[in-house]
Homo-oligomer: A and B are copies of this chain.
Amino acid sequence: MDVVVSSERFQSRFEVFSQIGETDRSGVNRPSLSDANKLARQQIVEWFEDAGLTVTIDEMGNIFGRRDGSTTDASPVLFGSHIDSQYNGGRYDGVVGVLGALEVIESLNDAGVETDRPLEIVAWSNEEGVRFQPDMLGSGVFTGVFDLEYAYSREDSDGNTFGDELERIGYRGEHPCEPRDIHCYFELHVEQGPYLDEQDLSVGVVEGVYGFSWLDARFGGKADHAGPTPMHLRHDALVATSDIITAVRRLTASGGSDLVGTVGSVDVYPNSINVIPEQVEFTVDLRSYDNETVDQAVERIRTEIRCAAEREDVSWSCEEIMRVDADPFDADCVKTVERAAKAVDAEYMRMVSGAGHDANYLNTVCPTSMIFIPSVDGVSHTEGEYTEWEDVVVGANVLMGAVTEQATITETTELHQ
Contact = CB atoms under 8 A, between A and B. Distances in A.
Interface of A: 191-195, 198, 210, 212, 214, 223-231, 233, 236, 238-239, 241-243, 245-246, 249, 252-253, 260-268, 271-277, 283, 285, 287, 353-356, 378-382
B275 A264 contact: yes
19 contacts: A191-B228, A193-B224, A193-B225, A198-B233, A225-B381, A227-B260, A227-B287, A227-B354, A229-B354, A230-B260, A238-B266, A241-B242, A241-B245, A242-B246, A243-B246, A264-B274, A264-B276, A264-B277, A266-B268
Nearest to A355: B227
Contacts of A268: 264-266
A353 B274 contact: no
Given A193-B229, A229-B194, A378-B229, A273 B238 contact: no
B273 A214 contact: yes
Contact of A378 (B198, B228, B260): B228
Given A195-B230, A355-B227, A264 B253 contact: no
A236 B261 CA distance: 11
Contacts of A225: 192-193, 354-355, 380-381
Contacts of A242: 241-242, 245-246
Nearest to A198: B233
B267 A271 contact: yes
Contacts of A382: 223
Contact of A260 (B226, B238, B239): B226
